[in-house]
């Protein structure tokens, strides 16, 4: 009989040898160890993922490369609005013809706001983030920028967006538009955009808006009657396809290609990230899904 510490070690060694032999016989050793997670390959030019709780980086691909952001720009638009002092979400904004003309001229995504209607700031935020309404973005920039003319107010609002980026310590981000339809100088990086989104997600109104799949606004017409708008559907397909998804914003454009800033919570942990310049609507969701799965596996 084998006794003592040496005996225990010998028995363990025999057990390991037997187990190893059995595993070799079944080919079980060809499986990767549970802790080894393969870094995913994505089509998007740039990607970044972090643990939202402590900002720990979980994945990078050209994470600090400046790229066009498309309508993911609207995350900062919403953040600036929600940061206004004494913000009244029920304050009403009258929709101007300029907003409508702007989306038509730029063939831009819109919330189909009706000229003359009174729309609350809260409703404009849903119109901004769900259907990615550039008309809603214009209305918010006009409302919360300072100046004697619309052009000055819009310029001032964009200035606030850039100040907010600086205040977050971001050095690779610049906005020249309130909605992502830039003039050649509207860019960010996957890392910077993720940080902007993480900051915005600290606001409860923002969190509520970006996880909403559908929203129907009731606006007030010129005559004082109530208009029930067609429902706004969130362009972020992950809300329906990815378990635990909580946002955040899509973007697209000729230069930006297909972008998605995303976040999901599982088992009390939140993973947040960005893909920029993917190849299609479907592919950006596939890229984001891969990165979320990787994030949760490595967090």
Active site residues per annotation: 71, 74, 132
Distance of CA 225 to the CA centre of its chain: 35
The 8-class DSSP code of residue 219 comes to E
Please choose, from the candidates 77, 92, 67, the residue with its C-alpha nearest in 3D space to the C-alpha of residue 185.
Answer: 67
Tokens, residue 190: 């996957």
**188 - beta bridge partners?**
67
Which value, to the nearest 10 degrees, does the dihedral of the CA atoms of residues 147, 151, 157, 159 take? -100
The neighbouring-strand residues paired with 271 are: 51, 264
Q: Please state the length of the chain.
A: 299
Pull the structure tokens for residue 218. 């009731």
Is residue 3 left, alpha or beta, with left meaning phi > 0 and alpha meaning psi from -120 to 50? Answer: beta
Alpha carbon distance 49, 274 (integer Å)? 7
Residue 63, token pair as written in the block: 């994470």
Burial of 297 (0-12, 13-18, 19+ CB in 10 A): middle
Type and span of the H or E element at 10? helix 4-26
* Contact partners, residue 129, CB within 8 Å, separation at least 6: 74, 78, 209, 210, 234, 249
119 phi and psi angles, rounded to 5 deg: -125, 135
- For residue 257, the cross-strand partners are 253
CA 124 – CA 249 distance, rounded (Å)? 15
């Amino acid at each position: 009989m084998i006794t003592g510490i040496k005996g225990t070690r010998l028995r363990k060694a025999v057990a390991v040898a037997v187990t190893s032999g059995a595993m070799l016989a079944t080919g079980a050793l060809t499986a990767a160890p549970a802790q080894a997670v393969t870094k995913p390959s994505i089509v998007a030019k740039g990607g970044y993922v972090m643990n939202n709780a402590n900002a720990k980086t979980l994945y990078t691909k050209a994470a600090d490369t400046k790229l066009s952001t498309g309508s993911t720009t609207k995350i900062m638009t919403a953040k600036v609005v929600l940061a206004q002092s004494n913000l009244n979400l029920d304050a009403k904004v009258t929709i101007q013809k300029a907003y409508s003309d702007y989306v038509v001229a730029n063939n831009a995504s819109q919330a189909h706001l009706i000229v003359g209607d009174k729309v609350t700031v809260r409703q404009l935020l849903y119109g901004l983030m769900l259907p990615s309404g550039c008309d809603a973005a214009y209305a918010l920039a006009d409302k919360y920028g300072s100046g004697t003319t619309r052009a000055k107010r819009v310029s001032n609002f964009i200035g606030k967006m850039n100040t907010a980026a600086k205040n977050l310590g971001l050095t690779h981000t610049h906005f020249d538009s309130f909605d992502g339809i830039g003039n050649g100088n509207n860019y960010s990086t996957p890392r910077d955009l993720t940080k902007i989104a993480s900051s915005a997600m600290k606001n409860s109104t923002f969190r509520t808006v970006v996880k909403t799949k559908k929203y129907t606004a009731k606006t007030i017409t010129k005559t004082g009657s109530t208009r029930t708008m067609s429902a706004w559907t969130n362009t972020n397909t992950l809300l329906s396809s990815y378990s635990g998804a909580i946002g955040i914003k899509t973007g697209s454009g000729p230069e930006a290609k297909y972008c998605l800033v995303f976040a999901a919570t599982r088992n009390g942990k939140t993973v947040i990230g960005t893909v920029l310049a993917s190849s299609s609507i479907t592919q950006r969701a596939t890229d984001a899904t891969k990165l979320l799965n990787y994030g949760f596996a490595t967090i």
